[in-house]
């Protein structure tokens, strides 16, 4: 197959270049560093750890070197999803003992390409991480020897969780077809939006907060953040421009987990339309995963689901999504190369 | 506001084919159902009702082969010959020469009066310019008292249909005037009158 002749246009008009070309370019143009995906949800128990661990597994099976990092400090259980016994060294040891090389603290299960830095600990909660500790973790993440790092973030919208999400190259939001999950998913995005717009003038911030939290309809008009932005373009073009710039930097992806009804499979597309319409922000639908009672079987057998049920339809979904992740990462890196050269 | 355009409301491009309009309508209607998860917590019920009404309104116009070109002209959108999938149209407009399309787009949202006459004029060009303005053949027939039969013959380049060339010229002049074109130039450039 002649891959080099293929290039195609991706969202935002960016040109996607095939992997082979990418590898030639990156090796010469930029230093190798892991590409970081952050998995978040707003609501707990929707399957973040399930998604993170099994996407990691699928990527590893495709020959990628992957390290999962459990940042759900306080209720870390990523090791369980992977069938790895509770690791002795965890993130909190690393922080407390002033370790500089995280690579020594990666633990492995059956899959040699898939490592884990566990967050299991009673002593630490992510919300309580001090600023310098957070920065230290971030610095060390970038030095991990891997193709991909997947951050499993905890539920909720505390600043540290938001900052790790914003730190990553790509953000992945997991929802399930339930009103509470959708509500928390939107709340999570609103939180990262406000976090990212923290440098705007106080008056504008207050307005944004009102739009995001109250959205009362005035004069028969349904309010939205996108509508607010349009008004801003006339009133304060400079601020509107700044916000658009922030929005355009987000690299958001979506997975609908625990799909049961056939109609649930369309939820991702519907949410993506609402992100465009309400927030003026694109979110890429990576795919969906079915609710499957075998997830529980795999847990009981202390095995990763993807490894235990490679023939399941979810395994097919995971493989497809892993391929998408590779493509997206590649196109993003090509853009970085272009910017830096 | 740009988000209030019918195309934005249905979440489609102005080039969308009529089939795409239909699909978009169904999807957007689904999106704004009362039990829709995707709007949950973003909008109140009464706001969702407004959004749904906007979808209906947009569909009413964009699904109408007469109203849509008119809407496009009024709002400066690309004219129908550029649509994604002409085959989707039940009544397919005849192919139009580049020049006339450019003229129509050039005039944008303003009412199309004193339209530049392309170097080559034929029935298809005239019909297209007429339709872009939302003028029906029957409107012209009503105003000029020319029978539909002859108006159709003008748009079909069917010179032989007229008892004599002088009739055709007279009708063509009136036709041209009623769609805002310089009648003398149209007469000079109407292909079928000069080819035989
Ligand atoms: N697709 C699925 N089918 C069946 N059970 C699932 C699925 N995804 C997650 N679960 C189960 O739901 C529970 C919560 O998942 P988990 O990944 O721990 O969520 P989170 O990390 O978001 O808190 C776990 O018991 C997990 O096994
Ligand atoms: Mg978890």
Output the domain CATH number for residue B144: 1.10.260.40
DSSP β-ladder status, A284-290 and A252-259: parallel
Residues B92 and B129 in one domain: no
B132 assigned to some structural domain: yes
Number of domains in chain B: 2
Q: Which of B63, B98, B133 is the last residue of a domain?
A: B98
- Whole-number mean pLDDT of chain B? 80
Number of domains in chain A: 1
CA distance B81 to B65: 12
B117 assigned to some structural domain: no
Confidence of residue A83 (pLDDT cuts 50, 70, 90): very high
Q: Which of B83, B98, B113 is the last residue of a domain?
A: B98
Confidence of residue B105 (pLDDT cuts 50, 70, 90): very low
In this structure, what token pair is assigned to residue B61?
Answer: 């116009």
Angle B11-B17-B18 (CA atoms, 0-180°, nearest 5)?
90
Residues B135 and B92 in one domain: no
Nearest to A71 by CA among A189, A162, A193, A190: A162
A273: chain B residues, CB-CB within 8 Å:
11, 27-28, 31, 38
Domain that holds residue A283: 3-340
Q: What residues does the ion ligand 2 have nearby, CB within 5 Å?
A: A 48-49, 72
Residues B92 and B137 in one domain: no
Residues B24 and B87 in one domain: yes
Mean of the pLDDT values across residues A51-70?
Answer: 97
B104 assigned to some structural domain: no
Residue A270 and residue B30: Cβ atoms within 8 Å? Answer: yes
Domain that holds residue B25: 6-98
Which residue from A minimizes the CA distance to B48?
A: A222
Mean of the pLDDT values across residues B139-144?
Answer: 81
Supply the pLDDT for residue A24.
Answer: 44
Confidence of residue A332 (pLDDT cuts 50, 70, 90): confident
Residues B89 and B147 in one domain: no
Supply the pLDDT for residue B101.
Answer: 37
Global ipTM: 0.81
pLDDT tens profile A175-192: 999 999 999 999 999 999
Determine if the pTM surpasses 0.80.
no
State the first-to-last Cα distance of chain A, in angstroms, to the nearest integer: 29
Q: Higher model confidence: residue B78 or residue A310?
A: A310
Neighbours of B116 (CB within 10 A): 15
DSSP β-ladder status, A170-175 and A252-259: parallel
B79 assigned to some structural domain: yes
Range with lowest mean pLDDT among A326-330, B138-142, B152-156, B175-179: B138-142
B11: chain A residues, CB-CB within 8 Å:
273, 276-277
Output the domain CATH number for residue A34: 3.40.50.300
B21 assigned to some structural domain: yes
Output the domain CATH number for residue B25: 1.10.287.110
């Amino acid at each position: 197959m002649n891959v080099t002749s293929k290039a195609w246009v991706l969202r935002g008009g960016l040109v996607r270049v095939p992997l082979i070309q990418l590898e030639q370019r990156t090796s010469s143009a930029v230093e190798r560093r892991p590409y970081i995906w952050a998995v978040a949800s707003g609501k707990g128990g929707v399957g973040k750890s399930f998604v993170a661990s099994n996407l990691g597994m699928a990527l590893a099976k495709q020959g990628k070197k992957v390290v999962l990092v459990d940042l759900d400090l306080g209720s870390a259980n990523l090791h369980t999803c992977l069938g790895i016994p509770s690791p002795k060294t965890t993130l909190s040891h690393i922080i407390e003992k002033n370790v500089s090389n995280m690579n020594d603290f990666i633990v492995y299960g059956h899959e040699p390409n898939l490592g884990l830095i566990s967050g299991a600990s009673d002593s630490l909660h992510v919300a309580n991480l001090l600023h310098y500790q957070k920065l230290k973790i971030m610095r060390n993440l970038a030095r991990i020897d891997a193709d991909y790092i997947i951050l499993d973030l905890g539920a909720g919208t505390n600043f540290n969780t938001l900052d790790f999400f914003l730190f990553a190259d790509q953000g992945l939001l997991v929802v399930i077809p339930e009103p509470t999950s959708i509500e928390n998913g939107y709340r999570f995005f609103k939180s990262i939006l406000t976090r990212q717009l923290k440098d705007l003038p106080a008056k504008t911030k207050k307005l944004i907060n009102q739009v995001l939290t109250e959205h009362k309809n005035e004069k028969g008009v349904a309010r939205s953040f996108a509508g607010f932005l349009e008004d801003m373009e006339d009133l304060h073009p400079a601020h509107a421009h700044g916000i658009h710039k922030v929005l355009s930097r987000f690299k958001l992806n979506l997975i609908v987990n625990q799909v049961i009804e056939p109609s649930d499979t369309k939820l991702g597309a519907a949410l993506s339309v609402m992100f465009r319409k309400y927030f003026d922000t694109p979110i890429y639908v990576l795919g969906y995963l079915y609710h499957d009672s075998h997830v529980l079987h795999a847990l009981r057998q202390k095995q990763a689901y993807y490894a235990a049920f490679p023939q399941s339809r979810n395994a097919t979904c995971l493989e497809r999504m892993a391929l998408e992740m590779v493509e997206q990462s590649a196109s993003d890196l090509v853009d970085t190369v272009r910017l830096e050269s | 506001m740009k988000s209030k355009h019918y195309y934005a409301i249905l979440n489609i491009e102005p080039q969308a084919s009529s089939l795409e309009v239909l699909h978009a309508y169904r999807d957007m209607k689904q999106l704004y159902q009362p039990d829709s998860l995707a709007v949950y917590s973003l909008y109140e019920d009464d706001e969702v009702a407004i959004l749904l009404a906007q979808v209906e309104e947009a569909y009413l116009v964009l699904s109408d082969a007469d109203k849509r070109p008119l809407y496009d002209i009024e709002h400066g959108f690309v004219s129908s010959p550029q649509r994604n999938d002409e085959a989707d149209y039940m009544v397919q407009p005849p192919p139009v020469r580049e020049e006339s399309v450019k003229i129509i787009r050039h005039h944008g949202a303003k009412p199309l009066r004193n339209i530049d006459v392309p170097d080559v004029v034929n029935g298809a060009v005239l019909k297209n310019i007429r339709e872009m303005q939302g003028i029906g053949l029957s409107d012209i027939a009503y105003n000029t008292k020319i029978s539909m039969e002859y108006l159709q013959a003008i748009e079909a380049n069917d010179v032989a249909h007229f008892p004599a060339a002088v009739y055709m010229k007279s009708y063509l002049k009136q036709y041209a005037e009623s769609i805002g074109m310089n009648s003398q130039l149209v007469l000079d450039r109407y292909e079928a009158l000069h080819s035989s």
